[in-house]
Structure 1
Amino acid sequence: MPAKSKSQQKAAGAALAAKRGDIKKGELKGASKSMEKSMSEKQLHDLAATKRKGKPENASKS
């Protein structure tokens, strides 16, 4: 499942880093905190590996 925005891709990257132990889980905030708890390492990797070119900074809420 590809990321829909740059911010979603960045949050997934932070959550993936915490899940792997590269950063402390306590340093996570907002979406990355809930992503780390609810998603598998593979799901996070798939989101984080999405190309950023052509993605909006934030996904629209419609």
Structure 2
Amino acid sequence: MPAKSKAQQKAAGAALAAKRGDAKKSDLKGASKEMEKSMSEKQLEEFASTKHKSKPEHVAHR
């Protein structure tokens, strides 16, 4: 599943770093904290590696 925005991609990258032990889990906030808890490392890799050339910075909530 690809990320829908650059912000979502960045959050996934932060969560992935924490899950791998490269960053402290206690430093995570908001979406990245929830992503780290609820997603597998493989899912986070897919979100974080999405091409971001045509992605908006943020996606509006519905």
- TM-score past 0.5 threshold: yes
Matches within 5 A, 1:1-62: 1-62=1-62
Please, what TM-score do these two structures have when normalized by structure 1? Answer: 0.97
What is the DSSP-based 3-state SS (H/G/I as helix, E as strand, rest coil) of the residue aligned with 2:31?
helix
Tell me how many residue pairs correspond in the alignment. 62
Please, what TM-score do these two structures have when normalized by structure 2? Answer: 0.97
What is the DSSP-based 3-state SS (H/G/I as helix, E as strand, rest coil) of the residue aligned with 2:32?
helix
Cα RMSD of the aligned pairs, angstroms, is: 0.6
Indicate the percent of aligned positions where both proteins have the same amino acid: 74
Flag structure 2 segments of 5+ consecutive residues without an equivalent: none
Q: Deviations over 1:18-50 (max 9, x none)?
A: 000000100001100000000000000000000
Q: Could you tell me how far 1:61 is from its partner in structure 2?
A: 1.9
Flag structure 1 segments of 5+ consecutive residues without an equivalent: none
The runs of at least 4 consecutive aligned structure 1 residues that moved more than 3 Å come to none
